[in-house]
Structure 1
């Protein structure tokens, strides 16, 4: 399945652009020889933002899977559920 909808695609672009700016900011901090504590704080912020973006994206994917599932096909639903569990285990 591809990106669930255009709203999700746009929100992910926005989040990724923000992350890109945060990473560039950290590079600048390194170049400017900023305090290590400040850099670590910014790295933690990037990690949290990546995690949040990941959860947002997975939430949209799960919603799309549930909305398009076929209640008359338990085997297909089981495959989708196994795939979703695999995805969630990657972000846990």
Structure 2
């Protein structure tokens, strides 16, 4: 997955922010924080995960299904894999 290696530091920074948000949510729940604060934190985490998914998915599509991608059979297999991932993500 060359596209994730190219943006490795950027992706890791995103993951660290998400980790921090999840730790903040855990702390909010442990300290019986206001429901609105907890809900907002959950929404923020979901948005961050969606952004990460979009970034990695875009890189994958460009790398594996773009104009310079490999042979048609491999592209078909890659397409089916991406469809499966998107379906499971959308559940």
Per-residue Cα deviation, 1:44-88 (whole angstroms, up to 9, x for no partner) = 111111111111111111111125423xx3222211221222222
TM-score, scaled to structure 1: 0.80
Gaps of 5+ in 1: none
Gaps of 5+ in 2: none
Segment of structure 1 superposing worse, 79-88 or 33-42:
79-88
Q: How large is the Cα RMSD of the aligned pairs?
A: 1.8
Could you say which structure has the larger radius of gyration? 1
Runs of 4+ that moved beyond 4 A: none
**Match of residue 91 from structure 1:** 89
Instruction: Report the CA distance between 1:7 and its aligned residue.
Output: 3.4
